[in-house]
Amino acid sequence: MRLFRIGAVIAAAGAALAVLAQPVSAAAMPQSAPCGFYTEWQLGLDEAYYHNCSGSSAYVKVDRPFLPDDYLCVNGYKTVGLGQYPDDVRGTTLLGAICKV
């Protein structure tokens, strides 16, 4: 009986982690982001903004003083240049890496 309870606790913890790992709902994302997808996470101590265009290209900007290393491609994307995209959340245009798979 005790093993059953431990198993139930582990299963409940796994279910809770699965819920936490779910992406942010579309309603919480800025609708003006390129290609309609936006997420935000911590990259070291810096905020990063990641725009994914149907899995084929992405724009990433690290929010700190502009240096060549600030333009990043992530998740297997390769840098093919720099580009600009609107950030209506801040009311400005940001520079970012143009990435391709």
Is 24 or 5 the better-scoring residue by pLDDT?
A: 5
The Cα 35–Cα 51 span in angstroms is 7
Contact (CB, 8 A) for 74 and 50 = yes
**pLDDT for the residue 67:** 47
Residue ranges of the domains in the chain? 26-100
User: How confident is the model over 43-93, as pLDDT tens digits?
Assistant: 333 444 444 444 444 445 544 444 444 556 666 666 676 666 666 566 666
pLDDT of 9 higher than 50? no
The Cα 83–Cα 74 span in angstroms is 16
Q: In the numeric block, which tokens belong to residue 64? A: 């700190």
Phi first, then psi, for residue 89 (nearest 5°) are -65, -40
